Chains A and B, each alone.
Chain A
Amino acid sequence: MPADEGGGAWFEHAVLEVLPDLLGTALRLTKNRADAEDLVADAIAKAWLARGSLREHDRFRGWIFRILTNRFLSERRTLAGRPAEQSLDEGGPEFSLFERLHQPFLLWWSTPEQEFLDKLAREDLARAIDTLPETFRLVVVLADVQGFSYRAIAETLAVPVGTVRSRLARGRALLQSVLWEHACDAGLRPTVHHRKPDIA
């Protein structure tokens, strides 16, 4: 059955079901609640007008997330003049939080990676995601927060699957480096205290 049969009831029901997910994503993209709500409302309006193009109900989630993402990118392009996409896919050092936490001198004390995860708060993760450049934040949010497949993200962003994979790898490495900084600030990494020389 075409998705637009039956008036707006199905649409309202479908929207309300994914609304918390849409807002969760919008909040990570825009970084503030008011802008996130505006983005979601804008995407819903756009989706309503385009609902005839949705052929199957079970594709609604991916479809409306694609609209939300495209609205966000479109607004950013308008504001910035052009997208800041290029040259971010390549390079950059690999960063592994596990390897940093798993260093022998830390293992003398306990299992630091376990301790780190136990102490990691939702707000810490949100703040870390917010620091990512937009190109990487998008794929990390779509893949790690919303659980979309590489293929679905590739379709949403109109890029090859390989680009999604490389952006995700780079985004996660950046994210882990931010979390490592957090771990250091939280005292999970022992700091070397240099004793000041005694002044005679």
Chain B
Amino acid sequence: MSDPTTINCEEALRLLATYLDGELGGAEREHVARHLKTCRSCYSRAEFERRLKAEFDGLRREEITPAFEQRVRRLITEF
């Protein structure tokens, strides 16, 4: 009989994105975490997805020009 607390690669990969987004709850999160500790292939995939996800952070903020900041300040004070 299979251990209900373990999941196979297919199931782990199905849940991986939600897990990496921090949106997986309770038991499922534990199952994925445990699977990644024991499966080198899925761990590699998870690390790749994690690093790719981190690359998005570079797009989070855009430099504000002095002219645009002034436009925003004027907008607020003139209302």
CA distance in complex: A101, B47 (Å): 14
CB distance A19 to B64 under 8 Å? yes
A168 at the interface (CB under 8 A from B): yes
Measured between beta carbons, the chain B residues less than 8 angstroms from A169 are 17
Measured between beta carbons, the chain A residues less than 8 angstroms from B77 are 8, 12
CB distance B76 to A150 under 8 Å? no
A97 at the interface (CB under 8 A from B): yes
B51 at the interface (CB under 8 A from A): yes
B39 at the interface (CB under 8 A from A): no
Measured between beta carbons, the chain B residues less than 8 angstroms from A176 are 52
B3 at the interface (CB under 8 A from A): no
CB distance B75 to A125 under 8 Å? no
Measured between beta carbons, the chain B residues less than 8 angstroms from A96 are 45
CB distance B59 to A98 under 8 Å? no
Nearest Cβ distance between residue A151 and chain B, in whole angstroms?
9
CB distance A24 to B51 under 8 Å? no
Measured between beta carbons, the chain B residues less than 8 angstroms from A120 are 52, 55
CB distance B55 to A11 under 8 Å? no
Q: Kindly identify which residue among B18, B45, B58, B60 contacts A98, using a CB–CB cutoff of 8 Å.
A: B45
CA distance in complex: A27, B59 (Å): 10
CA distance in complex: A150, B21 (Å): 9
Nearest Cβ distance between residue B57 and chain A, in whole angstroms?
8
- Select the residue from B71, B73, B76 with max chain A CB neighbours within 10 A: B76
CB distance A122 to B59 under 8 Å? yes
CA distance in complex: A143, B23 (Å): 11
CB distance B45 to A168 under 8 Å? no
CB distance B63 to A20 under 8 Å? yes
CA distance in complex: A122, B58 (Å): 6
Assuming A24-B61, A122-B58, A165-B18, is B49 touching A19 (CB within 8 A)?
no
Nearest Cβ distance between residue B51 and chain A, in whole angstroms?
5
Which B2-60 residues sit within 8 Å CB-CB of chain A?
A: 17-18, 21, 23, 44-45, 48-49, 51-53, 55-60
8 tightest A-B CB contacts, nearest first: A20-B61, A24-B62, A23-B62, A144-B56, A122-B58, A98-B48, A113-B48, A12-B76
A-B contact pairs, 20 of them (CB 8 A): A8-B76, A11-B76, A16-B72, A19-B69, A20-B60, A20-B61, A20-B63, A20-B64, A21-B60, A23-B68, A36-B62, A41-B75, A101-B48, A102-B44, A117-B48, A117-B52, A125-B56, A144-B56, A145-B56, A145-B59
Given contacts A23-B68, A125-B56, 6 further A-B contacts (CB under 8 A): A8-B79, A23-B64, A48-B76, A98-B49, A117-B52, A149-B23
